[in-house]
Amino acid sequence: MTDIRGIVPPLVTPFAEDGSIADDRLRDHVDFLIEAGVHGLFPGASIGELSNLNTDELERVTATVVDRADGSVPVYAGVGASGTLEAVERTRRADAAGADGLVAITPFFLETDQEGLYDHYARIADATDLPILLYHLPDMTGQTFAVDTVADLATAFDNVVGLKDSSGDLTWGSRIIGNTPDEFVYLQGLGSLLLPSLVLGADGGVTGTANVAPEPLLDVYEAYRAGDLDRARTTQVETVTPLADALMGGTFPAAFKQGARLAGRDLGVPRPPIQRLSESERTELHEVMDELDLLASG
């Protein structure tokens, strides 16, 4: 199960107006992404408002995605938590729910050092036989992986098989690629850096932009793999990067839900305290998606 590659969308979590999980919309979203041709699914991501889901809700989201995917694509379940014991509990529940692999973001809010990070992931790895992807998002978690810590985890635990990098630091990413075993999977978390990362040796992208428009990301990936760098570059520069940039407006991840709505799919609303886009922000996103011909017809 180390052949993890391609475009693996981190899923937004649809919420109804009352803040409850909109299961039907989540199932429909899984159907849409699978039909588009994605290579896997990642529920329980930061874009899925992970930090605003309790453990029971996270288990419910994972089970819903596993059930709906029904083996057609692998499901890599997010099991991150601020505390190590909670992350271990989430790991066990995701394993029991039938996930094919796990994605564990670094602890957030609580401060630790590299020894603490190593211990955190050692406990997660010991709690399951499933493959584990580390998840590096220092801007949101306040935790920065040292390259040596990632390399040590990759060599010490057979089931620590890769990393999702949302740091935006390609120099750091290239060091990860150069200092981990050849089979260690490196996945880019930012849509704007998909093609540069593939050129560096990345195995794919786990980018929230796919919630709105998976096809351009798939085109970049497939064109690059086919050796058509001109096509990959054109799609990256003309579509993927401007869309990825536009979706970072407002309070993360509100713009992704608004973008999906403009593309013709209802993925609900953000859960408080995240605020919906302002009128000016909605207008700006509409203009960009119109220019990119990504608005729903009619």
Give 80-122 pLDDT, tens digit per residue. 999 999 999 999 999 999 999 999 999 998 889 999 999 999 9
Helices (H), 75-169: 84-96, 114-126, 138-141, 147-156
Tokens at 172, concatenated: 């750091």
- Over the range 168-199, which residues count as b (16 or more CB within 10 Å of their CB) and which as e? eebebbbbbbeebeeebbbbbbbbbbbbebbe
Q: Is 221 one of the catalytic residues?
A: no
pLDDT surpassing 60 at residue 2: no
* pLDDT tens-digit map of 221-236: 999 999 999 999 999 9
Q: Is 164 one of the catalytic residues?
A: yes
* pLDDT tens-digit map of 237-278: 999 999 999 999 999 999 999 999 999 999 999 999 999 999
The residue from 76, 118, 121, 164 that is catalytic is 164
The residue from 76, 118, 135, 221 that is catalytic is 135
CA distances from residue 191 to 179, 204, 220, 296 in whole angstroms, order as listed: 24, 10, 10, 21
pLDDT surpassing 50 at residue 1: no
pTM (2 d.p.): 0.96
